[in-house]
Amino acid sequence: MHVTNIVNGVDVDRLAGTIEHISADPTLADFQFRAHNRWIDGGHNRTTIKGFYGAGQEDASRTEPFVLDADEPPLLLGQNKGPNAGEYLLQALAACLTGTIVYHAAARGIVLDGLECTIEGEADLQGFLGLDETVRPGFQQIRVAFEATGDFDDDQLAELAQLASYSPVRDTVSNPVPVAIEVVRA
Amino acid sequence: MHVTNIVNGVDVDRLAGTIEHISADPTLADFQFRAHNRWIDGGHNRTTIKGFYGAGQEDASRTEPFVLDADEPPLLLGQNKGPNAGEYLLQALAACLTGTIVYHAAARGIVLDGLECTIEGEADLQGFLGLDETVRPGFQQIRVAFEATGDFDDDQLAELAQLASYSPVRDTVSNPVPVAIEVVRA
């Protein structure tokens, strides 16, 4: 009889299998994620996300693209047709920390009932506007406050915060990533 | 007679007014953006985004929150209920670069007809899984390829790529941002 071993909604047997496959062939760990963005008007633009490369092949699991609109609020000369890019960055970081904690907790047998967080990012618009070259355009600091419930002791509670170090977006935001940008005529 | 001065869908008179106000009182440039994330199950979690602080007050322009679902594809033990966090990060960066180029081009009188980009990010899953401590969990590199159309000469085309330096999310990804994370019991 095969008993499926699900912890926190994560199939830990499949997770262990993934780790085993990658340990045997590390090239399976190479992933490329992608998005396509099209400007619509003013602060409004639209992104589509569908395919990616991973585990040695193009993924074909998504039959339709995800479509995401970004815009600015009226205060920043937009029309609120979507969150703005800074808010999407915070969403990416919050979602990544949540997923990372859930998966790694599952692998360690830490059972969660609930996990919520509020994320806040501080920015000084003088950087974006180019009014003061000593002010960075990006976030100056970001704070994430999680509340967790579940069947864990105080040592495991402390462990949950440590698991954040495995988060890909946390690493991407905390440490430098090279970004190459080119603009050509269509 | 008042003639509204719109370039690239951006009201450049209002943009100039914003710059004037902030130059007179730089505290108006302090912004705080926020998101709230709630884990649902496995790789699936949901973010709501509504209020923010800026220009000296809480913004009240959004009557309903934006709701964004994140999940993993089946290959990464999810059910494709949304893009994953790494894809949201790429979307945030693409949207920010697009908006930044559009706004700064408008301020310089560079008229765009179209702006599209494809963004690609490379990651090695060994970092996320903790299989090799020399491999970072985050993106190792990101490439953004823009195609622009409009009424601009070659010098202005080259200028468009330079404008990316003002992008808040580009700065957030390219350079370190302190991220403080706490986990407490609910």
Q: What is the pLDDT of residues B162-176, one digit of tens each?
A: 999 999 999 999 999
Interface residue B150 vs chain A (CB under 8 A): no
Query: Residue A38's closest chain B neighbor by CA?
Result: B116
Interface residue B58 vs chain A (CB under 8 A): no
Specify which residues B36 forms β-bridges with: A118, B48
Interface residue B138 vs chain A (CB under 8 A): yes
Q: What is the pLDDT of residue B4?
A: 76
Which residue type does B71 have? D
In tens, the pLDDT along B71-128 reads 999 999 999 999 999 999 999 999 999 999 999 999 999 999 999 999 999 999 999 9
Q: Do B148 and A183 touch (CB under 8 A)?
A: yes
Q: How far B130 CA lies from chain A's nearest CA (Å)?
A: 7
Q: What is the pLDDT of residue A4?
A: 76
Question: What proportion of chain B, given as a percentage, has pLDDT over 90?
Answer: 98
Cα separation, B175 vs A174, in Å, equals: 8
Q: Find the helix packing angle between B12-24 and B85-107, rounded to 10°.
A: 90
Residue B182 burial (CB count, 10 A)? 12
Q: Do A66 and B83 touch (CB under 8 A)?
A: yes
Contacts of B45 in chain A (CB under 8 A): 94-95, 98-99, 102
* Contacts of residue B70, Cβ cutoff 8 Å, sequence gap at least 6: A91, A95, A99, B43, B44, B45, B46, B47, B81, B82, B83, B84, B85, B88
Contacts of B119 in chain A (CB under 8 A): 34-37
Q: How far A1 CA lies from chain B's nearest CA (Å)?
A: 22
Interface residue A27 vs chain B (CB under 8 A): no
A85's tokens: 């890019």
Q: What is the pLDDT of residue B12?
A: 96
Q: Which residues of B87-119 are buried (b: 16+ CB within 10 A; e: fewer)?
A: bbbbbbbbbbbbbbbbbbbbbeebebeebbbeb
Q: Do A87 and B186 touch (CB under 8 A)?
A: no
Which among A70, A138, A183 is the nearest to B161, CB-wise?
Answer: A183
Cα separation, A126 vs B22, in Å, equals: 8
- pLDDT above 70 (res A25): yes
